[in-house]
């Protein structure tokens, strides 16, 4: 595995501050925020009217899902093209260029992965396209996965970042949750609540050696990242900040940095009552006395909360400031809240500061935390860790033969400590499958082991039942009275968050989609995370499909889960090889994954999208326990090809 | 018991039944109506609703009973127990939470 | 220190109590969860450090303990009022579902201290650290030196029950009292806590709980999960109640055992009552015949005084209006709180 430093060679962005880095920097430098009364749709019946909207000339139709989708793709393409242009990179081999796009709800019509595939097509990208959807930490998470693709040698150029659009439904959902401020959000300061925004941002990531070889521009070094899960609540962060603290610590470790090395922290800093104090607790617990000296600011005070795109946009802004030898302020800061940063950079314009290393943090609904570390200069990486990845358990909930729907089952029988009120079918099925897999692995987790056991999920859509409930409350009661509980279940990582919470999994957590085969892709990415790092010992890989029978006539419900572990296991079935490639590059994926080994064809797939291959994976795992051999599993979608080799390693 | 009191009690019982139905159908409380104690707390303990449910509760009551609650509807006294919700409903639907 | 002073401290300041009727066991081992699951009529849907209030029932469905179960990773605390520690341990062992069950009594090795009041969290943070401030209701914190802090008060104010190893008791009490000077900390009796519990309609096993009633009469079905099979739940399911505890507010004194009449006919019996200085009236727990077990009804007579039913709690607790993220004891006077009585 290649452990060359990973560098950022280009950036591009559109957000409330403008289109393109030059326009954005002009606003940042002048201390002008981009929060204004929303004109694009009516907010008359709401108690707040502000938003951080991308100032796109002409009118934008976002009255419906189709308009939102097209806008999301448009923002993405604008930002991505700028990044590519600034990186001065041409795609000599488009199949070696990957796209990792983080989005909360962006182009949900027809599936998030389709929107990302369109962005890839517009950019001429033919390598794997992975869509990460962990609500407000999506793009931060995406940057990390992008780095991993380079480390795995699965791509030579990665475009990583994210996009989201502010549409009326999302505005109404946050409003119903009571999270919006009537005034411009003032993180860490008196006004409580956040302001929503939108936008898109991308970084071009390359291995240092490749960047040097082609004389690429250098923006900064992507030093490290980490993920963690709160396992606490659907929308509120864990009050002690312990989840964020774990991600911060693991990021420092991944980057080979210590607390004393950090010169700036870009906080998630939404301004809500729950986020800011918990986040500060996390930062101060990890940085210790250094936390008192380090500037900690929130860029949401400039461009509002760009949802899934927040992470990458906030990093882009931090890097623009870094370039100018400055750190960004937290705007609208009046009186500090009871507990908050010692130095929130409470001023109206950027401040001169010497920054060698910075941390950027984002948290999300479902407790999905992601942190990245970026350095001004290339930092050498530690000798690579290479741990084996074993499969130690499998579980699945599948329909009866001939049926498309998962039959009824008692989740309480599988998880006696589960409070199942308000769970939608996707959350129930995923939780059940993960519980079965943990049982099959004979795992009872406790204490610290929970923090080192995570959950990577591949899926394609949030539960149609939750969508219908959400939409029906809009129809019956109007947008201003939309159901807050239903809204929280619309983010793609909602089921992941629920399963992690009910089963006490607090390690690295993510949710992604590539369409068909998302579960297998999640397994491959989990294997990368587990094999190359030491902040987790086990990752459960899950996949769930809940079909909308009116739209997906050929499909069926399913949920499956595998337990991957780096700890030596009885009955050792290993994930011997895995790879992702572009949608038309299956042979390359197989070749990467198999090496010279002889393989057997994959088993017959189920009609399920995300979980079909994961269920096959599990079946292969079970049969491999009985006999020797290797099994190759593959899946292909419009976004990516994936190949995984399972091998029984007899002594 | 006077006929006036009996009528008021009957009316209150109906409003209690409707509040219970809102809790079961809209707030997904997994109980039969008569398994919901009238003095059961709503939030934290009791029926175990949380902050995400609070707004949904106000909206569901407004929809069921046709009155409008202003921002202080989430004002704490009326949202503590099932009975306190029924008191609120009695007041807001032109009646009284106090028997004649 | 009069009862009135204690009550005022509890409801507007900070209060420390070292009298307790609580006993606790720690259960661990492979059979711990299943045993508790058998004993507790509520589904034990608990995340780590969460508590769930429930009741322990006799086979005939009557309540013999006010309990909560707390999940400590893979072990559990069973915290009760009602039985003695020995009785509770015997009850648990009698219903053990398997041999792999360790039951440890904590009464010999630990003592209970409790801290209550709208700013109790502010004071406690000085002794237990800042994490106390963010603790949600019905969770516990593992403090230093083996102190376990349960946020589970019964007064309607912020309330923290501290399970303290014997060796730490003096130091912790001294620390609280020393810091407590800044918070006007007042020592209060268990009687004061019981008084506040009644005003806030928290079940008291030592008062109305002694009447041999089922959860139906006690209005505590919410501490049971419908359809769950546990000791006593079948009897509860089969039971038909004809009365329910109701909050009665009277112009004059009432005592346990007093008959409550309505239009001259007996309608209920007083199980417990307190003279509330906040409400300015007597507030009682009355086992009322079902047709009149409704708040807002007048025309009752008890102890020779006029009385009416009310929706409990009767206190508009200041703690409802205090946000640990925003308020501090230091600026308590600048905050405007509504009157304590509803």
Count of C-beta atoms within a 10 Å radius of residue C269: 18
**Cβ–Cβ gap C326/A504 under 8 Å:** no
Q: What is the mean pLDDT of chain C?
A: 94
**Cβ–Cβ gap B30/A177 under 8 Å:** no
C312 touches chain B (CB under 8 A): yes
Among C242, C224, C241, CA closest to C232:
C224
C296 touches chain A (CB under 8 A): no
Which phi and psi angles does A292 have, rounded to 5°? Answer: -70, -25
The pLDDT of residue A622 is 67
pLDDT of residue B23 exceeding 60, the answer is yes
pLDDT of residue A404 exceeding 60, the answer is yes
**Cβ–Cβ gap B77/C298 under 8 Å:** no
Window from A574-578, C48-52, C145-149 with minimum mean pLDDT: A574-578
Q: Which helix (H) or strand (E) holds A576?
A: strand A573-581
pLDDT of residue A627 exceeding 70, the answer is no
Residue A233: active-site member: no
The per-residue pLDDT for range A1-27, each reduced to its tens digit, is 448 999 999 999 999 999 999 999 999
Nearest C-alpha in A relative to C37: A416
**Cβ–Cβ gap B39/C219 under 8 Å:** yes
The per-residue pLDDT for range A74-102, each reduced to its tens digit, is 999 999 999 999 999 999 999 999 999 99
The pLDDT of residue B74 is 58
C264 touches chain B (CB under 8 A): no
**Cβ–Cβ gap C296/B37 under 8 Å:** no
CATH topology of domain C242-309: Elongation Factor Tu (Ef-tu); domain 3 (2.40.30)
Q: Tell me the chain B residues in contact with residue A476 when contact means C-beta distances shorter than 8 Å.
A: 63
Lookup result for tokens 């918070």: C183
The pLDDT of residue A532 is 92
Q: Which two tokens stand for residue C269?
A: 């019996």
Window from A108-117, B69-78, B86-95 with minimum mean pLDDT: B69-78
Residue A305: active-site member: yes
What would you report as the CA-atom Rg of chain B, rounded to the nearest whole angstrom?
13
Q: Which two tokens stand for residue C264?
A: 């001259």
pLDDT of residue A597 exceeding 60, the answer is no
**Cβ–Cβ gap C311/B87 under 8 Å:** yes
**Cβ–Cβ gap B53/A485 under 8 Å:** yes
The pLDDT of residue B67 is 87
C244 touches chain A (CB under 8 A): no
The pLDDT of residue A62 is 56
Cross-chain CB nearest to B28 (options A47, A421, A473): A421
| Mean pLDDT calculated for residue range A273-288 | 94
3-state secondary structure of A579: strand
B33 touches chain C (CB under 8 A): no
Q: What is the mean pLDDT of chain A?
A: 90
| Mean pLDDT calculated for residue range C4-8 | 95
Q: Tell me the chain B residues in contact with residue A485 when contact means C-beta distances shorter than 8 Å.
A: 28, 52-53, 56
Residue A136: active-site member: yes
Tell me the helices (H) and strands (E) count for chain B, helix number first: 3, 0
| Mean pLDDT calculated for residue range A388-403 | 91
pLDDT of residue A109 exceeding 70, the answer is no
Q: How confident is the model at residue A382 (pLDDT cuts 50, 70, 90)?
A: confident
Among A2, A13, A631, A597, CA closest to A313:
A13
pLDDT of residue C61 exceeding 80, the answer is yes
The per-residue pLDDT for range A133-178, each reduced to its tens digit, is 999 999 999 999 999 999 999 999 999 999 999 999 999 999 999 9
The pLDDT of residue A368 is 94
| Chains in contact with C, counting 3 or more C-beta pairs less than 8 Å apart as contact | A, B
Q: Which two tokens stand for residue A612?
A: 């079909």
Cross-chain CB nearest to C326 (options A338, A419, A450): A338
Among A261, A239, A249, A251, CA closest to A286:
A249
Q: Which two tokens stand for residue C319?
A: 């703690």
The pLDDT of residue A553 is 67
B67 vs C92: which has the higher pLDDT: C92
**Cβ–Cβ gap B59/A177 under 8 Å:** no
Window from A236-240, A511-515, C47-51, C248-252 with minimum mean pLDDT: A236-240
Q: CA A11, A12, A18: angle at the middle one, nearest 5? A: 135
How far B89 CA lies from chain A's nearest CA (Å)? 19
Q: Tell me the chain C residues in contact with residue B87 when contact means C-beta distances shorter than 8 Å.
A: 295-296, 311
The per-residue pLDDT for range B57-72, each reduced to its tens digit, is 988 999 899 988 876 6
Cross-chain CB nearest to C45 (options A192, A339, A417): A417
pLDDT of residue A606 exceeding 60, the answer is no
Q: Tell me the chain C residues in contact with residue A336 when contact means C-beta distances shorter than 8 Å.
A: none
**Maximal CA-CA distance, chain A:** 70
| Contacts across the A-C interface (CB distance below 8 Å) | 51
Is residue A570 within 8 A of residue A441, CB to CB? The reply is: no
Q: How confident is the model at residue A611 (pLDDT cuts 50, 70, 90)?
A: low
pLDDT of residue A551 exceeding 80, the answer is no
How far C31 CA lies from chain A's nearest CA (Å)? 13
Q: Which two tokens stand for residue A199?
A: 């936008």
CATH 3.30.1360.120 holds for C3-193? yes
| Domain-wise residue ranges, chain C | 3-193, 242-309
Q: Tell me the chain A residues in contact with residue C33 when contact means C-beta distances shorter than 8 Å.
A: 416-417
How far B18 CA lies from chain C's nearest CA (Å)? 16
Q: Tell me the chain A residues in contact with residue C45 when contact means C-beta distances shorter than 8 Å.
A: 416-420
The per-residue pLDDT for range A43-72, each reduced to its tens digit, is 999 999 999 999 987 656 556 778 888 899
Q: How confident is the model at residue A355 (pLDDT cuts 50, 70, 90)?
A: very high
pLDDT of residue A566 exceeding 90, the answer is yes
Contacts of residue A619, defined as CB under 8 A and 6 or more positions apart, other chains included, come to: A603
| Mean pLDDT calculated for residue range A271-288 | 94
The per-residue pLDDT for range C204-252, each reduced to its tens digit, is 999 999 999 999 999 999 999 998 999 999 999 999 999 999 999 999 9
C177 touches chain A (CB under 8 A): no
Q: Which of A72, A136, A221, A642 is catalytic?
A: A136
pLDDT of residue A600 exceeding 60, the answer is no
For chain C, what percent of residues have pLDDT higher than 70?
Answer: 99
The per-residue pLDDT for range A493-548, each reduced to its tens digit, is 999 999 999 999 999 999 999 998 899 999 999 999 999 999 999 999 999 999 88
| Mean pLDDT calculated for residue range C87-97 | 97
Q: How confident is the model at residue A576 (pLDDT cuts 50, 70, 90)?
A: confident
Q: Tell me the chain A residues in contact with residue B53 when contact means C-beta distances shorter than 8 Å.
A: 484-485
DSSP conformation letters of A223-286: EEEEEEE--S-SSSPPTT-HHHHHHHHHHHHHHT--GGG--EEE------TTHHHHHHHHHHHH
How far B48 CA lies from chain A's nearest CA (Å)? 10
The pLDDT of residue A651 is 46
Nearest C-alpha in A relative to C131: A240
Which phi and psi angles does A389 have, rounded to 5°? Answer: -120, 120
d(CA C287, CA C254) in angstroms, rounded, equals 13
The pLDDT of residue A591 is 81
Q: Which of A108, A268, A332, A357 is catalytic?
A: A268
Count of C-beta atoms within a 10 Å radius of residue B77: 17
Q: Tell me the chain B residues in contact with residue A236 when contact means C-beta distances shorter than 8 Å.
A: 51
Three-state SS letters, chain C: CCHHHHHHHHHHCCEEECCCCEEEEEEECCCHHHHHHHHCCCCCCCCCCEEEEEEEECCCCCEEEEEEEEEECCEEEEEEECCCHHHHHHHHHHCCCCCCCEEEECCCCEEEEEEECCCHHHHHHHHHCCHHHHCCCCEEEECHHHCEEEECCCCCCCEEEEEEEHHHHHHHHHHHHHHHHHHCCEECCHHHHHHHHHHCCCCCCCCHHHHCCCHHHHCCHHHCCCCCCCCCHHHHHHCCCCEEEEEEEECCCCCCCCEEEECCEEEEEEEEEEEECCCCEEEEEEEEEHHHCCCCCCCEEECCEEEEEECCCCECCHHHHCCCCCCCHHHCCCCCCCCCEC
C277 touches chain B (CB under 8 A): no
Lookup result for tokens 């009665």: C248
């Amino acid at each position: 595995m290649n452990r060359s430093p990973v560098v950022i060679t280009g950036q591009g962005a559109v957000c409330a501050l403008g289109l393109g880095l030059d326009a954005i920097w002009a606003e940042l430098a002048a201390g002008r925020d981009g929060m204004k009364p929303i004109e694009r749709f009516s907010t008359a019946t709401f108690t707040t009217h502000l938003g951080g909207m991308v100032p796109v000339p002409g009118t934008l139709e976002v009255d419906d899902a189709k308009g939102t989708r097209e806008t999301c793709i448009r923002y993405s393409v604008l930002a991505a093209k700028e990044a590519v242009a600034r990186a001065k990179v041409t795609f000599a081999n488009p199949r070696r260029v990957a796209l990792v796009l983080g989005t909360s709800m962006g182009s949900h019509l027809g599936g998030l992965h389709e929107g990302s595939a369109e962005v890839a097509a517009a950019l001429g990208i033919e390598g794997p396209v992975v869509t990460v959807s962990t609500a407000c930490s999506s793009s931060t998470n995406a940057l990390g996965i992008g780095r991993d693709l380079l480390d795995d040698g699965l791509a030579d150029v990665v475009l990583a970042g994210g996009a989201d659009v502010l549409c009326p439904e999302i505005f109404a959902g946050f409003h119903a949750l009571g999270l919006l401020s009537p005034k411009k959000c003032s993180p860490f300061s008196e006004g409580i609540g956040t302001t929503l925004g939108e936008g898109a941002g991308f970084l071009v990531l390359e291995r240092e050696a490749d960047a040097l070889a082609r004389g690429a521009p250098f923006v900064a070094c992507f030093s490290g990242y980490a993920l963690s899960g709160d396992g606490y609540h659907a929308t509120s962060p864990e009050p002690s900040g312990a989840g964020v603290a774990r991600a911060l610590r693991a990021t420092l470790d991944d980057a080979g940095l210590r607390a004393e090395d950090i010169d700036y922290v870009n906080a998630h800093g939404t301004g809500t009552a729950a986020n800011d104090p918990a986040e500060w607790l996390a930062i101060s617990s990890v940085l210790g006395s250094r936390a008192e000296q380090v500037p900690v600011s929130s860029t949401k005070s400039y461009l509002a909360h760009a949802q899934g795109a927040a992470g990458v946009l906030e990093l882009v802004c931090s890097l623009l400031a870094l370039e100018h030898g400055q750190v960004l302020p937290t705007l609208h800061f009046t009186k500090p809240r009871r507990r908050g940063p010692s130095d929130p950079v409470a001023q109206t314009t950027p401040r001169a500061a010497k920054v060698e290393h910075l941390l950027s943090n984002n948290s999300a609904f479902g407790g999905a935390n992601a942190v990245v570390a970026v350095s001004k200069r290339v930092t050498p990486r530690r000798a690579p860790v290479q741990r084996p990845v074993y499969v130690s358990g499998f579980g699945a909930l599948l329909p009866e033969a001939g049926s498309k729907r998962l039959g009824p089952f008692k989740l309480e029988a599988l998880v006696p400590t589960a409070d199942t009120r308000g769970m939608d079918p996707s959350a129930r099925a995923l939780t059940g499958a993960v519980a079965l897999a943990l049982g099959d692995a004979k795992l009872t987790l406790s204490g610290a082991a929970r923090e080192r056991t995570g959950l990577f999920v591949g899926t394609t859509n949030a539960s149609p039942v939750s969508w219908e409930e959400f939409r029906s409350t809009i129809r019956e009661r109007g947008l201003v009275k939309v159901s807050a509980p239903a809204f929280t279940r619309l983010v793609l990582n909602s089921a992941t968050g629920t399963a992690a919470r009910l089963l006490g999994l607090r390690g690295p957590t993510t949710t992604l989609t590539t369409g068909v085969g998302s579960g297998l892709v999640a397994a491959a990415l989990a294997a990368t995370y587990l094999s190359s790092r030491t902040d987790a010992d086990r990752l459960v890989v899950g996949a769930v499909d809940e079909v909308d029978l009116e739209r997906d006539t050929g499909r069926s419900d399913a949920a499956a889960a595998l337990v991957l572990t780096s700890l030596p296991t009885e009955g050792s079935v290993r994930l011997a090889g895995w790879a992702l490639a572009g949608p038309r590059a299956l042979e390359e994926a197989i070749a990467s994954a198999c090496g010279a080994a002889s393989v057997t064809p994959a088993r017959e797939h189920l009609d399920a999208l995300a979980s079909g291959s994961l269920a096959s994976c599990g079946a292969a795992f079970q049969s491999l326990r009985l006999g020797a051999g290797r099994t190759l599993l593959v899946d292909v979608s419009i976004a990516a090809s994936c190949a995984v080799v399972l091998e029984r390693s007899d002594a | 018991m006077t006929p006036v009191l009996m009528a008021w009690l009957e009316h209150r019982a109906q409003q209690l039944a409707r509040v219970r139905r809102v809790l079961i159908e809209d707030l997904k409380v997994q109980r039969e109506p008569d398994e919901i104690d009238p003095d059961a707390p709503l939030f934290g303990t009791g029926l175990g609703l949380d902050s995400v449910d609070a707004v949904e509760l106000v909206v569901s009551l407004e929809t069921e009973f046709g009155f409008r609650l202003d921002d202080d509807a989430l004002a704490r006294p009326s949202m503590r127990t099932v009975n306190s919700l029924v008191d609120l409903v009695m007041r807001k639907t032109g009646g009284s939470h106090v028997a004649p | 220190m009069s009862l009135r002073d204690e009550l005022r401290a509890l409801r507007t300041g900070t209060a420390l109590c070292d009298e307790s009727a609580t006993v606790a066991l720690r259960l661990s081992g492979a059979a711990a969860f299943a045993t508790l699951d058998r004993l507790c009529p509520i589904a034990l849907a608990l995340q780590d450090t969460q508590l769930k209030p429930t009741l322990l029932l006799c086979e005939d469905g009557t309540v013999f303990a006010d309990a909560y179960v707390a999940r400590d990773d893979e072990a559990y605390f069973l915290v009760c009022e009602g039985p003695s520690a020995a009785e509770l341990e015997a009850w648990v062992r009698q219903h053990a579902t398997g041999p792999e069950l360790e039951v440890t009594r904590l009464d010999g090795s630990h003592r209970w201290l409790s801290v209550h009041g709208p700013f109790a969290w502010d004071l406690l943070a000085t002794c237990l650290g800042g994490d106390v401030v963010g603790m949600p209701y019905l969770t516990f914190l593992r403090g230093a030196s083996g102190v376990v802090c349960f946020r589970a008060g019964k007064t309607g104010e912020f309330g923290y029950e501290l399970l303290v190893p014997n060796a730490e008791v003096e130091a912790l009490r001294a620390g609280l009292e020393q810091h407590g000077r800044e918070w006007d900390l007042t020592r209060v009796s268990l009687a004061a806590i019981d008084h506040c519990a009644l005003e806030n309609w928290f079940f008291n096993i030592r008062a109305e709980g002694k009447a041999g009633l089922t959860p139906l009469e006690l209005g505590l079905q919410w501490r049971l999960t419908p359809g769950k099979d546990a000791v006593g739940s079948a009897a509860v399911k089969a039971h038909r109640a004809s009365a329910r505890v109701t909050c009665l507010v009277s112009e004059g004194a009432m005592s346990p055992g007093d008959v409550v009449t309505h239009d001259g006919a007996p309608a209920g019996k007083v199980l417990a009552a307190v003279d509330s200085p906040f409400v300015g009236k007597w507030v009682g727990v009355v086992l009322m015949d079902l047709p009149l077990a409704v708040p807002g009804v007048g025309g009752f007579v008890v102890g020779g005084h006029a009385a009416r039913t009310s929706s409990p709690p009767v206190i508009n607790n200041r703690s409802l209006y205090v946000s640990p993220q925003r308020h501090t004891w230091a600026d308590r006077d600048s905050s405007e709180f509504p009157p304590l009585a509803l």
